[in-house]
Structure 1
């Protein structure tokens, strides 16, 4: 039944009527005046059908315009996400992707060197950043209490990486806060983004001898938090460099 309803019955009826009229004229069953009248009626029906379709088309076009305007209004009201929470199942891939897309200078602030004790984690996260040709400089700002862990776990691995000279001398600082961050420009657009985490539960899991991030926040470039985080990193870096100069 649905297939039959799809047919243009107005046109089919007109064709049948025209054919019937022509046959009756050839059989001398109707006069030419009657045939002319049938033709006029058929033409009138076709005009009426076109007028009806034109009205329906105008209605559809009007509905589409209203829908388009509503869609534009909805899209204008939507704001891109500023912060994205990344859980344990995706954290490793998210950090690896961040290192792959990083550009220019990359800053690792208040990270735990023991996090890179496993070679596979070091290769996927830090070695990826070191071997990324778009990353020109890598700066670590680490708490003073992590000297030993750095010398044992990270320094030897870094020296074995091609391009290890882009890793700057560590800025050792007295960091009292519980914030850890990786800050970098992303892609060639140059928008600064960061991966933000917090020490302690539930954001970081304590394991024997080390702290491992469990949840991190991907802060996008349109967030006001970026400028504040960059300022925090710069203040620690500047203070320690000033002390070193004295």
Structure 2
């Protein structure tokens, strides 16, 4: 029944009436004047159908215009988040996923080496990045106070990794900022993202054995904060290399 109702019955009725009129004219049942009258009536019916469809088309066009305007208004208010807060329940998964999707160079700035003391955490976060074939190099920029812990707990684990050589020599410097950040490109086009955290409560909890991150900010590639964090890390890298050059010359 639904398929039958889809047919254009106005056109079908007009065709049937026209064919019947022509047959009756050939059989000399009706005169040519009657045939002409039938033709005029059919033409009038076709015009009425076109007018009705034109009004329906105009109404549909107005509805589409209003719908398009409403969608544009909604999209204007909906903006992508610059930063996503990741809580304790998803922080481990988020950091592991970041290491898995990273590309080119990874920068680990002012992270706590103690968190790599547990082999499980080291395998999930750093080893995942080391074994990621899309990551070409890994650079750590750490504070001098973490050197002993690094050489005791982290460096041996890195040396045991087959691709451990992609981890460059650590840049040791004096870091006064309470910021911890991991920066990397997420695709081959150079779309950088970062995981940002802060030392101290409530973002990082201090235990007897290590510092445990509680909350991190996943900064998206379109955020202006990405460029600022890259600039901060670059300044530390340049300043430390410059001081090393001066010491070597001396």
Superposition TM-score, scaled by structure 2 size: 0.79
Gaps (5+ residues) in structure 1? Answer: 15-32
- Shift in Å, 1:152: 2.2
SS in 1 for 2:244: helix
1:91-119 deviation per Cα after TM superposition (whole angstroms, max 9, x unaligned):
11211121122121111001111111221
SS in 2 for 1:217: strand
Is 1:56 aligned to 2:47, yes or no? no
- What's 1:218 paired with? 218
SS in 1 for 2:94: helix
- What's 2:88 paired with? 88
SS in 1 for 2:132: coil
In structure 2, distance between residues paired with 1:202 and 1:91: 14
* Farther off after superposition, 54-63 or 181-190: 54-63
Residue correspondence of structure 1 range 1-246 to structure 2 within 5 A: 47-75=47-75, 78-245=78-245, 246=247
In structure 1, distance between residues paired with 2:243 and 2:42: 98
* Farther off after superposition, 99-108 or 35-44: 35-44
Superposition TM-score, scaled by structure 1 size: 0.80
1:55-85 deviation per Cα after TM superposition (whole angstroms, max 9, x unaligned):
1122112220332244235435643321111
Gaps (5+ residues) in structure 2? Answer: 15-32
SS in 1 for 2:89: coil
Is the alpha carbon distance of 1:9 and 1:205 closer, same or farther for their aligned partners in structure 2, counting shifts above 3 Å?
farther
SS in 2 for 1:194: strand
* Farther off after superposition, 217-226 or 33-42: 33-42
In structure 1, distance between residues paired with 2:191 and 2:158: 27
